[in-house]
Every structure is written in structure tokens, then in C-alpha cells.
């Protein structure tokens, strides 16, 4: 079984892979071709259903525990909390824009692409900040008891794409990932 921090790191690797896919779809969109809307919508739904409801709340428990041990990086922890909320809002705005396109609303391609690029950029900055500054600090200052306490109260859910797969809910995303692994 993975430790909590190993699981968070693994989640980051999975999310980075999805961000690469989203970048490729945005490149298609920018080039005037239609992206795989089902794939992009499933990526955004995955982020909402897993990252926003399981991963980020678990990280915030880690942030709280760090703050109980040290005041180091307090401003970084606050920025990360704010980014969690900003990422949720950007994800929602991009999903709404894509839903509008699917339902034939007239939206500027540039506006839709900009929303996607903003989400990808902030998400990558966010992951880098956690990996580069906060996770090393957590390893340094948190005790085994801290980790045990966090594990007990952290949201429990299998990753619906990379863990126990929900193949019906994330069919396009799952198929794309299987195909990309075979290539």
C-alpha cells in the first residue's frame, strides 16, 4: 500500500499526464480542428470528481499539519489553498465553455482556448510548488503520528481512472489512456 505522500505524488504524475493530453487537445483546437470533446469533458469531470473532492482536501490536511509544526512556508501554503479554489473555478469555466460548444452556443475559439491554457498553466505551477517546496517540508516536519492522523481523516475514494477504474463514467478517457500506453 502506498503511503499518503506517495499517493499524492502518484496523483500528481497522473494529473501531469492528463495535462499533457489536454495540451494536445488545445493544440488541435488552436489549429482549427475539433478536439475530442468527450475526452476533454471527461478529463475535466475527473479533475472535479477526484482532484477537487479527494486529492486537494487531502493535501489541505497535510498543509494544516505542517502549519501546526512550523510557520515556514505559511505564505506558500496559503497560496496553494487559494490555487485549489482557482483551479476549481477555471475547470468549471472551461467545462461550461465546452458544454456551450457542444450545445451549439456561439463562443470565441480564442476564449475557449484561453480558459484551457489558463487551467493547464496554473495546474502545472501548482504541482511544481507542491512538489518542490511543500512535500519536502512535509517529509521533514511531519511525524509518523501526523501522517497516521491525516490518513484516518482524509477523504477515501479510489481513483476512478488510474485506480479502480470506472470504465463507464470515463470511457473516452480510459480508452485514450489505454491506446496511448500501447503506442
DSSP letters along the chain, please? ---HHHHHHHHHHHHHHHHHHHHHHHHHHHTTPPP-HHHHHHHHHHIIIIIIIIIHHHHHHHHHHHHHH--TTHHHHHHHHHHHHHHHHHHHHHHHHHHHHHTT----HHHHHHHHHHHHHHHHHHHHHIIIIIHHHHHHH--HHHHHHHHHHS-----TTTSS--TTTTHHHHHHHHHHHH-
CATH of domain 4-182: 1.20.120.520
Greater confidence (60 vs 168) lies with 60
159 pLDDT above the threshold of 90? no
pTM of full prediction above 0.75: yes
Domain ranges of the chain: 4-182
Greater confidence (3 vs 56) lies with 56
Assign 175 a pLDDT band (cuts: 50, 70, 90). Answer: low
Amino acid at each position: 500500500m502506498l503511503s499518503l505522500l506517495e499517493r499524492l505524488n502518484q496523483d500528481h504524475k497522473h494529473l501531469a499526464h492528463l495535462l499533457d493530453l489536454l495540451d494536445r487537445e488545445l493544440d488541435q483546437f488552436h489549429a482549427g480542428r475539433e478536439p475530442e470533446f468527450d475526452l476533454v469533458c471527461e478529463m475535466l469531470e475527473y479533475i472535479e470528481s477526484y482532484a477537487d473532492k479527494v486529492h486537494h482536501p487531502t493535501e489541505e490536511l497535510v498543509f494544516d499539519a505542517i502549519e501546526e509544526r512550523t510557520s515556514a512556508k505559511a505564505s506558500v501554503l496559503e497560496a496553494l489553498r487559494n490555487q485549489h479554489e482557482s483551479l476549481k473555478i477555471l475547470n468549471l469555466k472551461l467545462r461550461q465553455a465546452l458544454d456551450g460548444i457542444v450545445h451549439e452556443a456561439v463562443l470565441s475559439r480564442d476564449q475557449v482556448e484561453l480558459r484551457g491554457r489558463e487551467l493547464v498553466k496554473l495546474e502545472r505551477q501548482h504541482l511544481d510548488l507542491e512538489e518542490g517546496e511543500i512535500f519536502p517540508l512535509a517529509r521533514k516536519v511531519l511525524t509518523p503520528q501526523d501522517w497516521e492522523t491525516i490518513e484516518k481523516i482524509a477523504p477515501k475514494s479510489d481513483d476512478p481512472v488510474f485506480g479502480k477504474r470506472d470504465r463507464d463514467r470515463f470511457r473516452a478517457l480510459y480508452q485514450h489512456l489505454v491506446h496511448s500506453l500501447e503506442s
